[in-house]
Structure 1
Amino acid sequence: MVPGLPLKNTQASTGDTFEAAVLAGLSRRPRAIPAKFLYDAQGSALFDAICELPEYYLTRTEITILRDRAPEIAALAGPGRQLIEFGSGSSVKTRLLLDSLEAVAAYVPIDISGEHLEATSRRLRADYPALAIVPVCADYTDLPMLPWLPGSSGAAKLGFFPGSTIGNLDPDEALAFLRNARRLLGPGGALVLGADLKKDPGMLHAAYNDSAGVTAAFSLNLLARMNRELGASFDLEGFAHEAFYNPAAGRIEIYIRSLRPQSVRIAGQRFFFDAGERVHTEYSYKYDLADMDALAVPAGFVRTQTWTDPGRLFSVNYFVAT
């Protein structure tokens, strides 16, 4: 195997992309900024903290499933796979697969936060010195190709998309992502996908409105990032995190809400906010198995195995390319 290779960055300028998305998102009605921009280094660290909260059942439940079922996943995948992770974050769950998969040809973590990605890759290289690790700093929803990996070009690929991140995409976006993942993974490819299941709305509300206020800090960090990187003039005390479950759409909806009439200057432009006006930042769709099949089949996958916890809070699914 080849030792770890340097960070690959497929984005010409993350800063320019962020500024353009912010200016476009705040200029339209209703206002919205893509969720991927929540994950700068500070946002990624705050999300890691969210995953440790007692109300946030998703991470610990998925980890338990993966810990218990990783040998079964490895048996389905077979030896010599390239492991491709979409939205890798801290790669905590990835270690459960790396420890169970046989003769992994390479690991390709893909994440939009370059600083966070490189720090995670350094830790993995120290713990898996014989593994070829090729981090890719990119938007995993719009990735044109995977990097060439020396000595492993013929290996079958296993995609990994944990954390119910699929829920952050609306149905059309989720279908487009899965179609692109199917193309990237190629013939013989497979995908391990974590998806949060539909459940009691009270439990969902608590998961996105924690008592310690960490999720609120995560949301408002988007405004702080605009201040840091774009010279914006947001007063964070003038805005609040708002999250609620929309049962008709089957999703959590997350916004940043203006607490008073105010104006903000960003990159030479001024934006006015009414009291109560909201900026949409994120959806988190919840699924049942029929929902997942409705996405997977037209994308070129078939679901061959699903594992859940005893309470049926969360699912880990094995999809095979057709």
Structure 2
Amino acid sequence: MANSKAVNESAMLDEILHGLKRPNKRLPSKYFYDEMGSRLFDQITRLEEYYLTRKEKEILQNNIDEIVDNIGTRAMLVELGSGSSQKTRLLLDQLDNLSAYVPVDISEKYLLKAVNELRLDYPRVTIIPVFADYTNTFRLPDLSGSYENQVIFFPGSTIGNFSPDETQQFLQTMASLSDREAGMLIGVDLKKDREILEAAYNDSKGITASFNKNLLVRVNKEFGADFNTDQFTHKATYNAGKGRIEMHLISDCEQSVLIKDEEVSFEEGEYIHTENSYKYTLEDFESIVSKWFTVKEVWTDEDAFFSVQYLDKK
């Protein structure tokens, strides 16, 4: 049997090289989340400009009784991209009859650290971590008949990182994970003023810039590349026509980079597109999910910056 780590590294390298050899260079945003990237993102969530985490926690706290009622009893709670699982603690504090909590994350080391902390704080909860890229098909643990319904928790507006086509594919995959009663508790960022959106992704402390550049650091570390991160500038702008924040790394000069034996050239001002973050109206999002899910409940903060929604599988 092939070594899975080697297979994953080979697939990652192929994806990176393919993206950087395109006329419009790209790197997949899912590779942000090695251990350092996960730590940096945790710092981002505490920034004043980054309203998303603060507003989402506010919504969860203010509506926790209704949210718990929708999740129901004896549920298997599956969190995608769990990271430090801070928001999940709000649910675990209230879900007395949870059958299992299944955090899914691409960063194995960071995931296991978070799980160890959760097991100490919630000894009554069965916690089964799954190390996987949830953007691809993955397997959930077989809990047989020990749970009544499955609820996917997808906070943070990570759904916005998918293109419309990717969102459709993702929703289809999520709907197929369970053959019984199932739902999703999902965070969805809403459209608002450009100034508020762009400030959230261009923070004054430069942490988002470090997070973005850490993609290059990771490629250096894992594949022996020679990116000089000082020669790239972070920039995030709101594309109103497409309804999304676009995050880039811009080359400050003409330069070449070696990745393994492959050379990648950059013109001055050429950029690598590293992430999109789509923003929605409530009506737009309901239309997108309608083939697979029904929007049962919507909760927003008082500014209507952010929403948490409960979806029922059709």
Which band: TM-score by shorter chain?
over 0.9
Counterpart residue number, 2:135: 141
Q: List aligned pairs for 1:166-185, cutoff 5 A.
A: 166-185=159-178
* Aligned partner letter, 2:263: R
d(CA) in 1 for partners of 2:175, 2:209: 35
d(CA) in 1 for partners of 2:5, 2:295: 32
Counterpart residue number, 2:288: 295
Question: How much has 1:185 moved relative to structure 2?
Answer: 3.4
Counterpart residue number, 1:5: none
Aligned counterpart for 1:74 among listed residues 51, 61, 68: 68
Q: List aligned pairs for 1:199-210, cutoff 5 A.
A: 199-210=192-203
The more displaced of 216-225 and 140-149 is 140-149
Q: Does 1:310 align with 2:291?
A: no
Q: List aligned pairs for 1:1-322, cutoff 5 A.
A: 13-149=7-143, 152=146, 154-298=147-291, 300-322=292-314
* Aligned partner letter, 1:242: K
Secondary structure of 2:177's partner?
helix
Secondary structure of 2:63's partner?
helix
d(CA) in 2 for partners of 1:104, 1:145: 20
d(CA) in 2 for partners of 1:105, 1:17: 35
CA distance 1:80–1:306, change in 2 (3 Å):
same
Calculate percent identity across the aligned residue pairs: 46
* Aligned partner letter, 2:173: N
1:90-145 Cα offsets, whole Å, 9 max, x none, are 11001111112231000111111111111111111111112111111111111233
Secondary structure of 1:219's partner?
helix
Secondary structure of 2:249's partner?
strand
CA distance 1:131–1:11, change in 2 (3 Å):
farther
1:257-289 Cα offsets, whole Å, 9 max, x none, are 100000000011111100011111100000111
Contact 2:41-2:211 at 8 Å conserved across structures = yes
Contact 2:155-2:187 at 8 Å conserved across structures = yes
1:206-250 Cα offsets, whole Å, 9 max, x none, are 000001000000000000111111100011111011110000000
Aligned residues: CA RMSD: 1.5
d(CA) in 1 for partners of 2:85, 2:237: 28
Question: How much has 1:17 moved relative to structure 2?
Answer: 2.6
* Aligned partner letter, 1:317: Q
Question: How much has 1:87 moved relative to structure 2?
Answer: 1.1
d(CA) in 2 for partners of 1:149, 1:117: 21
CA distance 1:308–1:102, change in 2 (3 Å):
same
Counterpart residue number, 1:4: none
Contact 1:32-1:281 at 8 Å conserved across structures = yes
Gapped regions of structure 1 (runs ≥ 5): 1-8
CA distance 1:222–1:316, change in 2 (3 Å):
same
d(CA) in 1 for partners of 2:178, 2:274: 29
d(CA) in 2 for partners of 1:295, 1:187: 22
1:58-100 Cα offsets, whole Å, 9 max, x none, are 0011011111112111112211000011111111001111112
d(CA) in 1 for partners of 2:241, 2:263: 35
Secondary structure of 2:290's partner?
helix
Question: How much has 1:12 moved relative to structure 2?
Answer: 6.5
